[in-house]
């Protein structure tokens, strides 16, 4: 009987310790505010959820449309159009991702060196916010462009394949028939 009680007590202590230190281990990151996965996503032009407003409201993105091209029965022309959109998106997103990594790195350096001031903080965070906004807008606009290439049936099927099951309205103005 004691063993389960001891195990339960140790488990509760472990959970309590983890709850008190949610950032433990992050202090060893190269850039404290970005995980290795986030850095990799930024370096590779991935969306990182920046376009969820579009994605979850029935505006498919080019990367996922290409992944599902066969199941969506894209025509050769549609596939080529979406590929061009994807390539353009990456061309725009890659330098913005690199810029954001550099800006976050500089902010981290300012804090680490104890040289941050209210003025440099304002300058850094304003620049980071602008870059984040540009990056998000880049990903979102390619969802707008992609939906214009697809039929309503393909958009509906995309939602089903992604597990959305018609839980969002279909875009009505910017699609092919």
Q: Is residue 14 part of a domain?
A: no
The pLDDT of residue 65:
98
According to DSSP, residue 28 is labeled G
Q: Is residue 18 part of a domain?
A: no
Q: For residue 144, what are the domain limits?
A: 33-161
Q: Is residue 176 part of a domain?
A: no
Q: Is residue 77 part of a domain?
A: yes
Q: Is residue 38 part of a domain?
A: yes
Q: What 3-state DSSP class applies to 107?
A: helix
Contact between 54 and 155 under an 8 Å Cβ cutoff? The reply is: no
pLDDT tens for residues 114-169? 999 999 999 999 999 999 999 999 999 999 999 999 999 999 999 999 998 755 55
Q: Closest by alpha carbon to 145, among 93, 88, 95?
A: 88
Q: Is residue 170 part of a domain?
A: no
pLDDT tens for residues 33-50? 999 999 999 999 999 999
CA distance 51 to 59: 9
For the chain, the domain total comes to 1
* pTM value surpassing 0.75: yes
Whether residue 173 is predicted with pLDDT greater than 70 in this model: the reply is no
Q: Is residue 123 part of a domain?
A: yes
DSSP H helices in 21-75: 36-43, 52-55, 62-67
Least confident of 5-14, 31-40, 67-76, 113-122: 5-14
């Amino acid at each position: 009987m004691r063993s389960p009680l001891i195990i339960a007590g140790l488990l509760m202590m472990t959970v309590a310790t983890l709850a008190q230190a949610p950032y433990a281990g992050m202090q060893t990151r190269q850039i404290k505010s970005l995980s290795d996965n986030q850095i990799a996503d930024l370096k590779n032009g991935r969306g990182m959820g920046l376009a969820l407003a579009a994605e979850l409201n029935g505006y498919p993105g080019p990367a996922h449309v290409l992944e599902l091209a066969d199941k969506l029965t894209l025509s050769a022309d549609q596939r080529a159009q979406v590929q061009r959109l994807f390539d353009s998106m990456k061309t725009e997103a890659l330098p913005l991702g690199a810029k954001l990594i550099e800006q976050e790195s500089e902010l981290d350096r300012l804090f680490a060196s104890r040289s941050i001031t209210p003025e440099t903080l304002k300058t850094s965070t304003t620049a980071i916010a602008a870059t984040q906004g540009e990056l998000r807008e880049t990903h979102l606009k390619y969802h707008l462009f992609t939906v214009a290439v697809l039929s309503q049936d393909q958009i509906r099927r995309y939602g089903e394949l992604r597990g959305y099951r018609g839980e969002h309205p279909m875009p009505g103005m910017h699609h092919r028939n």
